[in-house]
Amino acid sequence: MEKVDLNTEIIQQIEVTIENENKLYLFSKRALDIVASLIGLIVLSPLIVIIGILIRIESKGPIIFSQKRIGLKGRKFEMYKFRSMVPNAEELKKKLLEQNEMSGPMFKMKEDPRITKTGKFIRKTSIDELPQLINVLKGEMSLVGPRPSLPKEVEKFESWMLKRLEVKPGLTCYWQVSGRNNIDFEQWMQLDLDYVNDRNFLLDIKLIVRTFFVLFGDENAH
């Protein structure tokens, strides 16, 4: 996997931090990731098939959307999601940049015209994230950790924000259970750093449990 261009000194600091981290915690976290992602993929396989069929019926294009994201220590990887937008969404985004409702380098829009009918449902319930269980199984992501950012977003991060690259990106974190899109960009980054500083196995379990309530519909998700 490629690395995004980051300051060498910053990368070295991140690597030292990771090496000194509690090995028992890392082992337990990885074991949980493997077991939970395997069970999730098996149990949810009927739902995954149904969603795939609905996406294909509504619009032509791939069922799974993959995109380069930045992971642990600045490594690039392909992150998977169910496609929730029209196939030419990236081209249309250029025309919508002025309507961005998120501060900072990230793009968020509540009434995004690129989102399909099926897309609205799977984003509201976070079902669109289910294919990332494959990323978790591969070791590119964890169940709990900061959401993986786009390379062009990381390039615009302030230096203090890069601390979030000390841990694997995840499916859920403080941001997902604390207001999501109603939180501005800097608050989001601070929440991620709070997780990096607070992380432990019990906290991971608590965040996973709290995230289950989000799966049934989060008014802040779009």
- For residue 221 the two structure tokens come to 């998700």
The span from the CA of 88 to the CA of 143, in Å, is 30
pLDDT tens-digit profile of 136-183? 999 999 999 999 999 989 998 999 999 999 999 999 999 888 866 667
**Alpha-carbon torsion, ordered 89, 187, 133, 46, to 10 deg:** -70
3-state percent breakdown (helix, strand, coil) of the chain, nearest 5: 55, 10, 30
Cα-based angle 15, 21, 24 (whole degrees, multiple of 5): 135
CA geometry: angle at 148 spanning 23 and 160, to 5°? 75
Q: Is the pLDDT of residue 15 over 60?
A: no
8-17, 30-39, 159-168: segment of lowest average pLDDT: 8-17
* Cα–Cα nearest to 80, from 28, 135, 37: 135
What integer pLDDT is reported at residue 151 of this predicted model?
Answer: 93
Model confidence at 222: pLDDT above 50:
no
